[in-house]
Amino acid sequence: MIKKLLFCLFLLTATAVSGQSIFQSAKWIVPGFKEDTLLRPCPVYTKTIDVQKGLRSATLYITAHGLYEANINTQRVGDAYFTPGFTSYNRRLQYQQYDVKALLKKGRNAIAVTIGEGWYRGVFGGNLAHDIYGNDAGLLFQLDLTYNDGSHRSVLSDSSWQCTTGPIRYSSLYDGELYDARIQLRQPGPVAIADFRKDILVADNTPPVREKENFHPIKVWTTPKGEQVLDFGQNMAGWVRCQLEGKGGDTIRLYHAEMLDKEGNFYTGNLREAKATDTYILPGKGKGTFQPHFTWHGFRYVKVEGCKVNANDFTAVALYSDLAPAGTFSCSNPMLNQLCHNITWSFKGNSLDIPTDCPQRSERLGWTGDAQVFCRTASYLFHVDAFFSKWLQDLEADQAVNGAVPSIIPDVYEKLRKDPRAGAAGWADAAAIIPWTLYWVYGDTAVLNRQYTSMKAWVDYINSVSKDGLWTANGYGDWLAPGDSTSLPYIDQCYWANSTQLLINTAKVLGKTADVEKYSPLLQNIKSAFLKHYISPEGVAITNTQTAYILALQFDMLPDCMKKNAADRLATLVRNNNDHLATGFLGTPYLLHALSENGYTAIAYKVLNQETYPSWLYPLKMGATTIWEKWNAIKPDSTIQATSFNHYSYGAVGEWLYRVVAGIDAASPGYEKITIHPQPGGGLEWVNAGYTCPYGRIVSNWKITNGKFTMHVEIPAGTRATIMIPGKESVEVAAGTYDF
């Protein structure tokens, strides 16, 4: 219990102190000069302060419109990137707090804050809109100094600051950065005071984006087209740090790509409009170290122009939110281990402050469908409670007055409404699915209390647009399924039922009896309409696809008398497809569960172990180091399709590996009660898995030697577990270590 209490306290470490009260006297400032409309140099705000007495403490509070990098005496403040983070800027703007005492010295101290375009005012979104949230590069700054004698002083952003530009001539999330090292800070000019809102300021309480793993080139070569290319061996999101030397004015360009084409040339055909190019103009003063400031790229390969490549001068740096690791999984099948590696790296590459769909092309958006299908798998890999909780607050902030949920959060298309499918089944249902998932995994009702209004508004919205008990919406369906399409209205009805069920579950947890009584009859009406319109009396779905039966089974849409028939039909469809999947974004996460929970674990393993298209292992055979958006992103003849090669949605199979193959599952919210129920198969000889729940570490290891099954289990203090040994009766145990 102590561990769980500490775990919950972690969620509260960043108290929601009102930003308006903190920045009460500070002023929003903007450049006093006219900025360019396009390719704007990054503004740099400067101020010099005197510190004449010994300091007891120095605390900086800061936020910006755009991205900021603060320096004191040329030393960078903090190690977080892309601050203040990506939120629904019109409604929620984060600020950060830093202890900067160690950066200050007695006497004169130089402060400089550079503002990058970022999501706020740069070119962003699939339609390449400019200045989505505003066109200013605003700064709000407060440095509170407490001296040893007990006196206080605050350094505030106000008209005493100056503003100029420096070596960052432009920095775009999609196009990259131009850094001209010949340019130092230009002659500064005055700033202007702006009247921007402070009442939307909130404390940052999510893990920051940091530099993580470093990679050195595993190969440097010249392509058939004569290009110098480095291979870092891992598809990732981040940037390249390089040591460059040359004459003043020499221009070095680094181009980023995920793949090589069929002939072995550098391939950027899947980047859409993103140039993904970093440019450095050298000062001519010896070797210098260069890396971007306000951009990142999705890449494995880098093409270099303008200098002779020395592999030792280039390091790829992975960037992602600094999430604490949670689970480990390994087994006797090296390909499944590589699959786990790919799943983990796809989540790393798509967790730069928000859960995104891809990190490479001119998109990188918070698609709700991708996030909801992967959330439970993400929870096995990392502790994602704060990460998703922050994003859910933006989901509620951007939710329409009528309860409809945009397909992308933050909703960068709100002004233009380029997304006509707001309220799409399987996407907008993230409003209900993710809060319940977080509660189930971490056992904290705070997320349910916070999101309940949003969950309820979403279900009420569907009810308001339904007719005769049926919901039909213009959704995305079973996105990119390689098999026959599943009826959109069929999918709508299943997800409507699921979100309603989760709302009822939440109302029970929160003691909202009136809502339980209100929505329970609605749920029965939804299911009755589903049976009447979409299922024959024999239990046959009108849309005879794998996904149709998967959703009906997983969302409990069928009476008990029909479930076996539905499971049999699903198994038959899989067999008739040569034991291959035929599912897209919505069916794939539940496919193996629907099989293993209904007596077809052996078939589930056959599907898992397929190495030909479409399958999870086919991309591995083609050299993938992350999960692909399309099952056949590279065709068997090595032809590349213009798609994302780092897209975690299909990696949702990771949940099945932990819950079924290793057998680690929560039997009650927060793992106070644990189920250990491994289901061996698929030719696996051993599995070693661990997961750190709110109470501590759970371990489930098993192996088969000469036909003999043995299992090692560890259960943390404060919990109880039901251990189900294959072929034996289950055993109820308290905390401890057990061998069977």
Question: For the segment 515-557, what is each residue's pLDDT rounded down to a tens digit?
Answer: 999 999 999 999 999 999 999 988 899 999 999 999 999 999 9
- Examine the pLDDT at 419 and tell me if it is beyond 70: no
Q: Residue written as tokens 């009859």?
A: 521
Q: Which of 327, 313, 274 is nearest to 297 (CA)?
A: 274
**Strand-pair category, 327-331 with 55-64:** unpaired
Contact 67, 83 (CB under 8 A): yes
Rounded Cα–Cα distance for residues 55 and 147 (Å) = 4
User: Does the pLDDT at position 647 exceed 70?
Assistant: yes
Q: How far apart are CA 198 and CA 180, in angstroms?
A: 35
- Structure-block tokens of residue 154: 């605050």
Does position 655 have pLDDT exceeding 80, yes or no?
A: yes
- Provide the pLDDT for residue 4: 52
What 3-state class would DSSP assign to 136?
coil
- In tens, the pLDDT along 33-45 reads 999 877 899 999 9
- Per residue in 178-188, pLDDT (tens digit) is 999 999 888 89
Would you say 679 and 661 are in contact if contact means Cβ atoms under 8 Å apart?
yes
The reported pLDDT for the residue numbered 14 is: 40
> Checking phi first, is residue 238 left (phi over 0); if not, alpha (psi -120 to 50) or beta?
left
Angle at 475 between CA 470 and CA 481, to 5 degrees: 115
From the CB of residue 196, how many other CB atoms can be counted at a distance below 10 Å?
A: 16
CA 292 to CA 351: how far, in whole Å? Answer: 19
pLDDT score for 18: 66
Across residues 656-683, what is the average pLDDT? 98
pLDDT score recorded for residue 21? 86
Residues 648-668 have a mean pLDDT of 98
* Catalytic residue flag (residue 629): yes
Query: Dmax of the chain from CA atoms?
Result: 86
Q: What is the pLDDT of residue 169?
A: 96
Which one of the listed residues 177, 258, 363, 396 is annotated catalytic?
A: 363
CA-to-CA dists, residue 425 to 138, 497, 577, angstroms: 38, 11, 27
Rounded Cα distance, 463 and 556, in Å: 19
Q: What is the rounded CA–CA span in Å between residue 587 and residue 67?
A: 38
Task: Say what the pTM is.
Answer: 0.96
pLDDT value of position 15 = 41
> Residues 150, 155, 160, 166: what is their CA dihedral angle, to the nearest 10 degrees?
140
What's the pLDDT score for residue 474? 85
Whole-angstrom distance, CA of residue 119 vs CA of residue 127 = 13
- Three-state DSSP at 120 gives helix
Amino acid occupying residue 209 = V
Write the pLDDT tens digit of every residue in 255-271.
Answer: 999 999 999 999 999 99
* Residue 13: predicted pLDDT: 41
Helix (H) or strand (E) holding 94: strand 93-99
Segment 285-299 mean pLDDT? 95
CB count within 10 Å of CB 725 equals: 19
| C-alpha to C-alpha distance for 534 and 544, rounded to whole angstroms | 10
Distances (CA, A) of 152 to 25, 107, 159: 15, 16, 21
| DSSP for 290-305, written as a single string | E--SS--EEEEEEEEE
Q: Three-class SS of residue 186?
A: coil
* Amino acid of residue 100: V
Mean pLDDT calculated for residue range 494-515: 98
Name the catalytic one among 69, 117, 414, 629.
629
Average of pLDDT values for 443-451? 98
Q: Mean per-residue pLDDT for 11-32?
A: 76
Instruction: Determine the Cα angle at 87 with ends 82 and 91, to 5°.
Output: 140
Rg of the chain (C-alpha set): 27
Which candidate, 345, 336, 386, places its Cα nearest to that of 653? 336
pLDDT in tens, 191-216: 999 999 999 999 999 999 999 999 99
Give residues with Cβ within 8 angstroms of 509, minimum separation 6.
439, 445, 448, 669
Instruction: State mean pLDDT over 95-99.
Output: 98
Q: Shortest CA distance to 69 belongs to which of 53, 82, 54?
A: 82
Residue 405: band (very low, low, confident or very high) from pLDDT cuts 50, 70, 90:
very high
Structure tokens at 610: 């397929």
> What is the rounded average pLDDT for all residues in the chain?
95
Least confident residue range of 4-18, 314-328, 568-582, 651-665: 4-18
CB 534 within 8 A of CB 487: yes
How sure is the predictor about 618, in pLDDT bands with cuts at 50, 70 and 90?
A: very high
Q: Write down the pLDDT at residue 6.
A: 45
Asked if the model's pLDDT at residue 667 lies above 70, the reply is yes
Burial of 726 (0-12, 13-18, 19+ CB in 10 A): middle
Confidence (pLDDT) at 36: 81
Instruction: Record the tokens describing residue 377, joined without a space.
Output: 């798998």
For residue 12, is pLDDT > 90?
no
- pLDDT average, residue stretch 647-672: 98
- From first CA to last CA, the distance across the chain in angstroms is 27
Quick one: pLDDT at residue 417?
Answer: 60
Tell me, what's the pLDDT at 11?
43
* Catalytic residue flag (residue 211): no
The three-state secondary structure class of 383 is coil
**CA dihedral sign, ordered 200, 201, 205, 209:** positive
| pLDDT for the residue numbered 537 | 87
At 2, is the pLDDT very low, low, confident or very high (cuts 50, 70, 90)? very low
**Dihedral angle at the C-alpha atoms of 551, 555, 559, 562, nearest 10 degrees?**
20
Q: What is the dihedral of CA 519, 525, 527, 533, to 10 degrees?
A: -150
Element (H, E) at 116: strand 107-116
Give the SS3 label for residue 695. Answer: coil
In sequence order, the 6+-apart residues with CB closer than 8 A to the CB of 46 are: 110, 111, 112, 113, 161, 162, 163, 164, 185, 188
φ and ψ at residue 88, rounded to 5 degrees? -75, 85
| pLDDT score recorded for residue 494 | 98
